[in-house]
Amino acid sequence: MASILKNWAGLTVEKAPPFDVRPWLRLETYWPMLRAIMWAWIGFFLGAWIEAVITWAFDGGNPIGNMIFTPRAMAVGYVFAVVGWFLGGGVLEGWLIPAITGDESWHDTSAIDGPAKFFRFSTDYKSSSVRYTVWVMFSFLVAGLFAMMIRVNLLFPRLFLFPSIESYNTFFSAHGIMMLLGVAAVGLIGGAGYWAVPLMLGSRTTAYPKVAGLSWWFQPIGFMAILLSPLVGGFQAGWMGFEPLGDWSGSGMVLYNLGAATMLLSSWVNGLIFVTSFIYMRTKGLSLSRVPIFVWGIFAASVLLLLFVPYSAVPVLMNLFDEVVGTNFFGPVGALPMAYQNMFWWLFHPEVYVFVLPAWALWLEIASVFSGRPVFAKNWAIAGLIAVAVISIGVGVHHYFTQVKPAEQALFMGVTETVSVPTGFMYLSLIGTLWGGKTRFFTPMLVVLMSAVTFLIGGFTGVFLSDVPANFMLHNTFFVIGHFHYTILGGFLFTFIAALYYYFPKVTGRMYSEFWGHVQAWIMFVAFQFTFFPMFLLGYMGMNRRIAIYLPYLQHLNDVASIASFILGGSFFIALFNFIYSAMFGPKAPENPWGAKTIDWQVPSTVYKAEFQRIPVVTGDFYDPDAKPEDIVKWVDPEWVSQQKTGETGGAH
Amino acid sequence: MATEHNLGPIGKLGNGYRQESPYVIDDAPPRVKRSAFFAIVLAQLMWWMPLLWARFLYAPYEHVSGVNYFVWSLAGFIALASAVQAFRILGAAREGRFTALGSLLKTQAILGAAVCGVIIGGWATSGLAIDTPMGSNFYFFSAAVAFFFLLSTLGEAIHALRAGSRWGAGYDATSVWRVENGAYFWLWNCLWMFVFYAIFFWL
């Protein structure tokens, strides 16, 4: 008989069976991933040597020595590495051979249960979600360690930790691009999105499940290219890879371009999958007005990705061509280096909203569940999401106000400040949802409120930066650093952490520790403010961004920021240990601990193996506070099961 | 597909749609896959827009010079022939002549390889300097055309292998959407090859 317990927050939980560690100790669990790593390295050296030998045949030189680290050899090697990585990870058996032979038996997922399904190419969107989530946590750890190194260096107004300014440049550049493309761009869309969106749509798969399964595999190889770039000289051009600065970075810049393009491709595939799934994969009765708000958030972000990833990926590839084959798009002489910025920001300002649109939508989803109230003015909130997505297309120029004509400055200042109007819809919707409700402050709800407060500060400081006169004073200072950390970490990262707590019981079937969840949330919130608020002051006091050496009068605020950042970094380890310990030893969670009504909570925990066997038909509003889940979703037999029951045959097969 | 709606499900996990095999959890019916692919093809448009922009931003009043017109024309003619072949594949798929697909797809793959090969020949025999604004654009755009043709060729080669496979897999009314999608994508590539000619040789 299961023993009933109450956890720290008063939630009823059951004692869970012990964690089975045995499948985690078997080599075959990890084999496809290990093979992928092996084949990627083999592919890299094979490709680089092939290029080196061909170059040697035409131009002479030593093909075995340094020639495999030339920009062109690195590029060819990387392409071979990507192919090896994909094939080794399971694309060979999971896609290529079945495409040729028509035998798809590799996909017999009933034979691959347990942890093994996380370490191979798979069409199961839920294992993609887990892969994304774990990878994003790893990327965050690595990029976060880079940030810690930067903060250690800034404890003193001189070059302290890094051996040279060039290595400092490489580390802050890599920190930026890894955080943006490896964490923020895919954390909520890849992690929460792949988990919740198909389930919320009532679909057991995404549109094009193999393409969806492939999207995660772009991430690690791109990330590793950037991570390894310091070994071949790193890159000095900031996270944006600005030209003509990149021209001085050699092979490290090539790895940046290849890695960034690959990670952008992963985001583009996600955009493609979620747009097509949203349009084509909704279950019966799920009209657009009934689609959960989180799905709308993912959809709005996905449209941006689909349209504008190419606008950034193409200049990155042009940059690569400049490095590798000798084109001259962005060189300092005879080219248009400013065009890189112009093209690059077509995506990368909308990209900021790719990070936060799903976050805002999840705020409303979580607020509605924990306050027991419908999403206030849901249609206005959806309009806000779409309007922000549309307006964000035309604001990229505010990143380089200092380099455009006054008439353009006024125009883009106006458009930029317009974004705050539909953003206000989200806040009004959040306040209206919570207003009058009996809010239960479980960790996800608490972190969502912290996210809303933090993002608000980021938003207010954004108004300063969108204002041209203020921008001229604050451009490229630490004020900008403070602003975008408040928006991206406050908006995206806090919500990502809220999503981890929110979906943890459904994904693992176990309950995390509420006590440690609250402890972590408060430490993170307070340390965050002490880390990034001083940066606004530093910016006002004249501290430029991207510098390793600063004037001594700025040291005291830098020390506050650095010490707080170490505490902030430590707070994430509390969450990590909470998740790992709870996943292994936590009590059994109820199937729907929060009382949510969307379909993702109407399926059993843990929903992996056979998915739902019956079709959900939506007959009501997910946010109706008076309706029970069974009133909103009816589960019916598939048509072919009904036919079999009535004695009809299914047809040709 | 005329016969598609008559086909029933196989496999215990079907939700009303016929499964392609007893193993794959694949709820999307062919109609969805065709429609979704339309979105995918349409989305490819955005990869070309920056290239169009760059062409007229970097070298607005210039024309291509010093290229081997014979080789580039040859690539265009082969691409045109491959477009006709793509229509033949679509016709065979629509009419349910699945056994005819093998040879059609094989020819298509050969034509695709020829397009890529001739483009490489075009690069090798062109005297246009790569580090000029026009040269940078010309080679980058033609590399994009070649890359997309290469992808399509690999796809059609895989389709051809399956169509004529000794495993007997082939295609039927519910799986032929893959071949259709491959043919539509091929036509899309031909369209961009046409745009390439238009913006570099005619404008």
pLDDT digits (tens, 9 = 90+) for A598-641: 999 988 877 665 566 677 889 999 999 888 888 898 887 766 56
Residue B1 confidence (pLDDT): 30
- Contact list in B for residue A275 (CB cut-off 8 A) is 39, 43
Query: What is the span of the domain harbouring residue A420?
Result: 122-585
Q: Cβ separation of B15 and A101 shorter than 8 Å? A: no
Whether the pLDDT of residue B160 is over 50: the answer is yes
CA angle (A617, A619, A620) in 5-degree steps: 135
**Could you read off the pLDDT of A538-584 as tens digits, one per residue?**
999 999 999 999 999 999 999 999 999 999 999 999 999 999 999 99
Taking the C-alpha atoms of residue B88 and residue B100, their distance in angstroms, rounded to an integer, is: 10
What average pLDDT does the segment A81-95 reach?
92
Cβ-count burial A285-321 (b if 16+ within 10 Å, e if not) = ebeeeebbbbbbbbbbbbbbbbbbbbbbbbbbbbbbb
Q: Cβ separation of A336 and B169 shorter than 8 Å? A: no
Preferred mutation among A316, A325, A330, A643 to probe B, highest tally of B CBs within 10 A: A325
Residue A351 confidence (pLDDT): 87
Give the position of tokens 């100790």. A25
**Could you read off the pLDDT of B87-140 as tens digits, one per residue?**
999 999 989 898 899 999 999 999 999 999 999 999 999 989 998 888 999 999
Does A622 reside within a domain?
no
Taking the C-alpha atoms of residue A78 and residue A639, their distance in angstroms, rounded to an integer, is: 48
Q: Cβ separation of A101 and B162 shorter than 8 Å? A: yes
* Chain A residue at shortest CA distance from B169: A102
Encoding tokens for residue B126? Answer: 């062109």
Taking the C-alpha atoms of residue A571 and residue A569, their distance in angstroms, rounded to an integer, is: 5
Report CA A398 to chain centroid distance, whole Å: 24
Q: Cβ separation of B36 and A276 shorter than 8 Å? A: yes
Higher pLDDT, B55 or A442: A442
CB proximity B68 to A under 8 Å: no
Taking the C-alpha atoms of residue A562 and residue A539, their distance in angstroms, rounded to an integer, is: 15
* Kind and range of the H or E run holding A633: strand A633-636
What average pLDDT does the segment B179-197 reach?
93
Given 3-state DSSP classes, what are the helix, strand and coil percentages for chain A, each rounded to the nearest 5?
70, 5, 25
Instruction: Compare CB distances from A610 to B13, B26, B53 and report the shortest one's residue.
Output: B13
Q: Taking a C-beta distance cutoff of 8 angstroms, is the pair A319, A329 a contact? A: yes
Whether the pLDDT of residue A99 is over 60: the answer is yes
Say if strands A12-14 and A615-618 run parallel, antiparallel, or are unpaired: unpaired
Does A23 reside within a domain?
no
Whether the pLDDT of residue A342 is over 70: the answer is yes
- First-to-last alpha carbon distance for chain A, in angstroms, is 45
Q: Looking at the DSSP assignment, which residues form a beta bridge with residue A5?
A: A13
Percent of chain B past pLDDT 90, that is, above it, reads 47
CA angle (A261, B149, A211) in 5-degree steps: 50
Taking the C-alpha atoms of residue A621 and residue A292, their distance in angstroms, rounded to an integer, is: 9
CB proximity A653 to B under 8 Å: yes
Q: What are the residue boundaries of the structural domains of chain B, listed by start?
A: 46-202
Beta strands (DSSP E) in A400-522 are: none
Q: Taking a C-beta distance cutoff of 8 angstroms, is the pair B54, B144 a contact? A: no
- Which of A190, A457, A466, A222 has the alpha carbon at shortest distance from A349? A466
**Could you read off the pLDDT of A285-323 as tens digits, one per residue?**
899 999 999 999 999 999 999 988 888 899 999 999 999
Find the radius of gyration of the CA atoms of chain A.
25
Residue B31 confidence (pLDDT): 67
Residue A64 confidence (pLDDT): 63
Residue A647 confidence (pLDDT): 58
* CB within 8 Å of chain B, chain A residues 581-610: 610
- For domain B46-202, the CATH class is mainly alpha
Taking the C-alpha atoms of residue A59 and residue A531, their distance in angstroms, rounded to an integer, is: 53
- Scanning chain B, the segments in alpha helix (DSSP H) are 30-43, 45-58, 69-95, 101-124, 133-163, 177-197
Cβ-count burial A464-479 (b if 16+ within 10 Å, e if not) = bbbbbeebeebbebbb
**Could you read off the pLDDT of A492-512 as tens digits, one per residue?**
999 999 999 999 999 999 999
Q: Cβ separation of B25 and A123 shorter than 8 Å? A: yes
* CB within 8 Å of chain B, chain A residues 306-325: 306-311, 313-315, 318, 321, 325
Higher pLDDT, A554 or A280: A554
Confidence category of residue A124, pLDDT binned at 50, 70, 90: confident
Residue B25 confidence (pLDDT): 38
Does A496 reside within a domain?
yes
Higher pLDDT, B61 or A142: A142
Question: Chain B closest CA to A605's CA: distance in Å?
Answer: 19
Taking the C-alpha atoms of residue A445 and residue A363, their distance in angstroms, rounded to an integer, is: 8
Give the number of domains in chain A: 1
Look at chain A and count its residues.
653
Residue A608 confidence (pLDDT): 61
Does A54 reside within a domain?
no
Taking the C-alpha atoms of residue A499 and residue A521, their distance in angstroms, rounded to an integer, is: 13
Confidence category of residue B56, pLDDT binned at 50, 70, 90: confident
CB proximity A108 to B under 8 Å: yes
Using CA atoms of A323, A327, A329, A334 in order, give the dihedral in degrees to the nearest 10: 110
ipTM: 0.87
Confidence category of residue A649, pLDDT binned at 50, 70, 90: very low
- Which of A246, A253, A252, A247 has the alpha carbon at shortest distance from A233? A252
Higher pLDDT, B55 or A107: B55
Residue A419 confidence (pLDDT): 92
Average pLDDT of the residues of chain B? 81
Give the position of tokens 């793509």. B86
CB proximity B54 to A under 8 Å: yes
CATH code for the domain in which residue A560 is found: 1.20.210.10
Instruction: Compare CB distances from B50 to A123, A310, A611 and report the shortest one's residue.
Output: A310
Residue A642 confidence (pLDDT): 62
Whether the pLDDT of residue A339 is over 70: the answer is yes
* Kind and range of the H or E run holding A615: strand A615-618
* Chain A residue at shortest CA distance from B41: A272
Confidence category of residue A650, pLDDT binned at 50, 70, 90: very low
Q: Is A10 left (phi over 0), alpha (psi -120 to 50) or beta?
A: left
* CB within 8 Å of chain B, chain A residues 120-149: 123-124
Confidence category of residue A645, pLDDT binned at 50, 70, 90: low
Does A182 reside within a domain?
yes
Question: Chain A closest CA to B73's CA: distance in Å?
Answer: 24
Report the predicted TM-score, pTM, of the whole model to 2 decimal places.
0.92
Does A67 reside within a domain?
no
Query: What DSSP state is assigned to residue B28?
Result: -
- Contact list in A for residue B126 (CB cut-off 8 A) is none
Q: Looking at the DSSP assignment, which residues form a beta bridge with residue A13?
A: A5
Residue A268 confidence (pLDDT): 94
Confidence category of residue B22, pLDDT binned at 50, 70, 90: very low
Percent of chain B past pLDDT 70, that is, above it, reads 81
What average pLDDT does the segment B144-170 reach?
88
Does A21 reside within a domain?
no
Taking the C-alpha atoms of residue A44 and residue A626, their distance in angstroms, rounded to an integer, is: 59
* Kind and range of the H or E run holding A53: helix A27-59
Question: Chain B closest CA to A23's CA: distance in Å?
Answer: 23
Does A606 reside within a domain?
no
Residue B167 confidence (pLDDT): 64
Q: Taking a C-beta distance cutoff of 8 angstroms, is the pair A189, A198 a contact? A: no
CA angle (B141, A211, A497) in 5-degree steps: 110
- C-alpha pair distances (Å), B36 with each of A280, B17, B30: 7, 17, 10
Taking the C-alpha atoms of residue A205 and residue A611, their distance in angstroms, rounded to an integer, is: 10
Q: Looking at the DSSP assignment, which residues form a beta bridge with residue B88?
A: none
The sign one gets for the Cα dihedral A294, A300, A302, A304 is negative
Q: At what angle do helices A406-418 and A420-434 cross, to 10 degrees?
A: 10
Percent of chain A past pLDDT 90, that is, above it, reads 63
- First-to-last alpha carbon distance for chain B, in angstroms, is 42
